[in-house]
Homo-oligomer: A and B are copies of this chain.
Amino acid sequence: MANTSNLQAVLDQVDAGLDQSLERLFALLRIKSISADPAFAGDCQAAADHLAVDITSLGFDAEVRPTGGHPAVIAKARGNRGDRPHALFYGHYDVQPVDPLSLWHRPPFEPVLTDHADGRKIIVARGAQDDKGQLSTFIEACRAWRDVTGELPIDVSIVIEGEEEVGSKHFVPFLQQHKDDLAADFALVCDTSMWDGNTPAITTSLRGLVYEEVKIKAANRDLHSGIYGGAAQNPIRVLTRILGGLHNDSGHITIPGFYDGVQEVPPEVLAQWKALNLTPDLFLKPVGLSRPAGEADRLLIEQISSRPTCDINGIVGGYTGEGSKTVIPAEASAKVSFRLVEGQDPAQVRDAFRAFVTSRLPEDCSAEFLEHSNAPGIALDWSMKPLAAAKRALTEEWGKEAVLIGSGASIPIVADFKRVLGVDTLLVGFGLDDDNIHSPNEKYDLRSFHKGIRSWVRVMHALAEMPF
């Protein structure tokens, strides 16, 4: 049995080994594992191989296994015993594309430890937070336990996928296929944020994601607007007219049936959220905004966590180069995504969106759709035992009561863990709002990384001691 009284010695080991932990993170950050772009498939494979070697060195049996897309890593601690809590840790090694590259201050895959404008030490690179930095906090916590005690305080399995940023399309069948190897009592995920730089948080609800690409086609070729302008359908005009109608003046989404199944947040949760007093000054001012743009009759914290939303993530059509071209293009397309909350049916939302578009098409226009993501929103079980243990551990590490929050982002795998593996998930992460994830100059605070490792050391300790 692990000697859990060694907690302080393990925390000391984390502090002493921080430079080496950072070096290992940098090695991982140098791998250009962009999952969205097929040109980087080799880098994705390299990231999986790299992680398998590293995790093996921690006393795990680790393997890179193929999926229908980029490979995944599966690992089981050789010291797993079966008579204590068994956690399945999940992370993803893939990262977002880096464009626009011109806005990065440094090459995105050359990680550096530098100073933030306000003096904080930060790690800058694509993936520094999402999710290479975050997943490394758990791996380094395991390393510290093993270095000091020779073993882990609980049973641990690890699975790391490579397609989270593109919808985990091949990971769900992979889970089905390997469910016996992934059996555990609960899952741990490190891909979320703190409430603020001093307040740790456990995320207890996640929005889902329906991500659609729509292409409008009209003429059989590009046309000259001088000759055809006035008579020919313009797919950009049609696209803007349809997408411009997705919201009404109050910020509500106009797609019929879109809000079907959406529940109000329970009064006690809403009361807790109101007490957090999230103001536009706090949340929007750092990114140059001042006024919440969502549903006018909702609190800001509701707009970003408990209410479904619609965003146009990309649009392109016609001539977009320098200067001018008097063209009426043959087609125009957009990427449109919906953040869903528990109760909404992703398939119904997708179909309603497609019907919304199709029913507004004028004569001579057609629409093609491509599905990129299709995950429901979920609410976690607030009464699960690991949650109470983790809350206590986080509160001890940070010296401030850990809060339970809803996340606006999607981690679709949480629903799949419940459905396929039958396990609840505990979401603990150390990201901050200014981490620029999915943006140029992504960063992770050195404090998040360091105290993140310490937090997992304490959480594992607390999980080992919880009534089981």
Contacts and interface: CB of A to CB of B under 8 A. Distances in A.
Contact of A313 (B230, B327, B440): B327
Interface string A400-427: 0000000111100000000000000000
Given A311-B234, A327-B439, A288 B226 contact: no
Contacts of A322: 36-38
Contacts of A453: none
Nearest to A166: B323
Nearest to A431: B227
Interface stretch (A13-21, A170-178, A211-219, A386-394): A211-219
A289 B439 contact: no
A315 B315 contact: yes
Contacts of A328: 311, 313
Given A222-B439, A313-B328, A319-B313, A294 B245 contact: no
B303 A313 contact: no
A240 interface: yes
B317 A324 contact: no
Nearest to A286: B220
Contacts of A313: 225, 236, 318-319, 324-329
Copies of this chain, complex-wide, total 2
A294 B231 CA distance: 5
Main secondary structure of the interface of A (DSSP, over half): loop
A240 B231 contact: no
B239 A226 contact: no
With a 10 A CB-CB cut-off, give which of A284, A313, A364, A408 has the most chain B CB atoms. Answer: A313
B315 A219 contact: no
A280 B15 CA distance: 77
With a 10 A CB-CB cut-off, give which of A218, A312, A328 has the most chain B CB atoms. Answer: A312
A455 to B, nearest CB: 21
B318 A335 contact: yes
A213 B440 contact: no
A171 B325 CA distance: 18
Nearest to A298: B230
Closest 5 CB pairs of A and B: A226-B409, A244-B244, A220-B288, A314-B318, A36-B323
Given A37-B322, A226-B410, A231-B294, 7 more contacts: A36-B324, A213-B324, A220-B288, A229-B304, A230-B303, A236-B314, A289-B364
7 contacts: A36-B325, A233-B291, A237-B311, A240-B241, A314-B320, A315-B320, A324-B372
